[in-house]
Structure 1
């Protein structure tokens, strides 16, 4: 029984695998590797206990992909896992969330993964463990193409239209509907009260407006795909890889189409895979015992 946990900025997903197939799964609150304060460590302890309580049976191995993982804090997370699940450290594997997702698409290494969730990154890992990456610099610096970026671009366009007295566009109507108000004090409280997650949650409204024909929303989707293709090319050119996989909730059909149009036809774009499947490739023990 292999437990995979994918800790992210929006939520933490888990799945219990038996014989290579999921037998149980669930979603928990966001968890991350930023364990610098007692409060943050308390949330991690509480989160792991919540996941354990939701499982129908205990695991024999645990693989965790942690967003924002600092390698010097990996032993602390291992100790928390050991205490929570009653397993020795030898039965645990703690890594970052990108490694987990990459292993789901390229179990033996190689290939380049372009990820677009709340943020964005391109990631390549060789069979020997050498990592090449681009992006992942956080929303204050870049993260172009991800959900935060899409939501921010959409809301910026909507508010500029409001400032200029323009008729309300499909994009603006969708975003104001998602927020629950078109009045600036309410919008300000929503965005600045909840931070980047509030803007990331607006990305589906931008996509819906694009599907509905809004030209500004369509341009945001096109630019998102172009930005993500730029990340992919940065790593593909350095790695020499010719295979690329796309992962993350921000890769909606329009963004994916724009990415493929930008990346060129000399590469093989693989089907997406659930990041939690990376637990099967990374779990301690011989591969033949995991049905990888």
Structure 2
């Protein structure tokens, strides 16, 4: 079975891609700058173009089809995203499948109607893919509204609390460990630099500040420790809503936030009213194999319905 099939996991912090050959073996992997599906925003569209350009430049062979999951994707952006992919990768629209990253992750883990999924990276969202292919979503409203438990939410909560403490006492006080970690991450300890970092950065850059928060927690900062527990509560809440509203299925939790500290997963296990799963998921690899399944010239697979 000839051909090469690209799968891409386009996230706010980073993009990852994989290429499968006609047997399903992964023959290439790589990373590219993060992006979103918010092509209605000129800056975000330029970031997506940059990400796809780098993926194209990294490939050592032409691809025959592509499946990409993009954080923040909405169907209205489909034709624009297909045009960007087609222009830089040389793939015709008929052999491109674009969805949001969470739907592709669900399909890699469960059959429709058989599970729930909570994803917590830069942002957070929870979904149940029904047997008819429709999607029931909880959360995922972006860092300016909610995304509770996600990396950007952790980062902004920490920065907010730190500067409230500085306002109250004139110094970080008992939050000095957290302050040091955040200052080291942005390379300065002045409010003007923090302001520039937050207001001048995208959601992925802001979300990356969750890592120094976790470092501060491991170093004994009480606020940071409590914040990570609170993140676990928020993610368990999303899973519990899915169970309540869409049935008592197991809930898979994925995303970079779960790697920050074991206390997050421990809190989820304690708070979830059902079975919690923590699978290791390579979304780019799953997308590449879905591309093979959808667009292979093999007649038995070419009619697959995602």
| TM-score with structure 1 setting the length | 0.89
Partner of 1:142: 146
8 Å Cα contact 2:175/2:221 also seen in 1 = no
Unaligned runs of 5+ in 2: none
* Structure-2 separation of matches of 1:218 and 1:39: 35
Distance 1:43 1:171, change over 3 A: closer
**C-alpha deviation, 1:169, in angstroms:** 2.8
1:178-223 Cα offsets, whole Å, 9 max, x none, are 1222222222222222254443121011111112222111100000
Q: Which moved more, 1:118-127 or 1:102-111?
A: 102-111
* Structure-2 separation of matches of 1:17 and 1:73: 26
1:205-246 Cα offsets, whole Å, 9 max, x none, are 111111222211110000000001111111122111421111
Partner of 2:156: 152
Residue in structure 2 matching 1:237, options 231, 244, 252: 244
Partner of 2:81: 77
8 Å Cα contact 1:8/1:32 also seen in 2 = yes
8 Å Cα contact 1:100/1:276 also seen in 2 = no
8 Å Cα contact 2:268/2:276 also seen in 1 = no
8 Å Cα contact 1:245/1:272 also seen in 2 = no
Aligned CA RMSD, in angstroms, stands at: 2.4
Partner of 1:260: 269
**C-alpha deviation, 1:263, in angstroms:** 0.6
Listed as ranges, the matches of 1:18-37 within 5 Å are: 18=21, 19-36=23-40
Residue in structure 2 matching 1:47, options 46, 51, 56: 51
**C-alpha deviation, 1:82, in angstroms:** 3.0
* Structure-1 separation of matches of 2:64 and 2:202: 38
* Structure-2 separation of matches of 1:204 and 1:38: 29
Distance 1:167 1:243, change over 3 A: closer
1:8-46 Cα offsets, whole Å, 9 max, x none, are 222221111233332211121222222236665555444
8 Å Cα contact 2:37/2:45 also seen in 1 = no
Partner of 2:290: 281
8 Å Cα contact 1:102/1:275 also seen in 2 = no
Residue in structure 2 matching 1:246, options 246, 249, 253: 253
Aligned length: 289
1:207 matched to 2:214: yes
1:13 matched to 2:16: yes
| TM-score with structure 2 setting the length | 0.85
8 Å Cα contact 2:155/2:210 also seen in 1 = yes
1:186 matched to 2:196: no
8 Å Cα contact 2:254/2:279 also seen in 1 = no
Q: Which moved more, 1:104-113 or 1:146-155?
A: 104-113
1:224-283 Cα offsets, whole Å, 9 max, x none, are 00001111111122111421111111112221211111114x314252312223312364
1:118 matched to 2:126: no
* Structure-1 separation of matches of 2:247 and 2:147: 24
8 Å Cα contact 1:104/1:277 also seen in 2 = no
8 Å Cα contact 2:124/2:147 also seen in 1 = yes
Partner of 2:183: 176
Unaligned runs of 5+ in 1: none
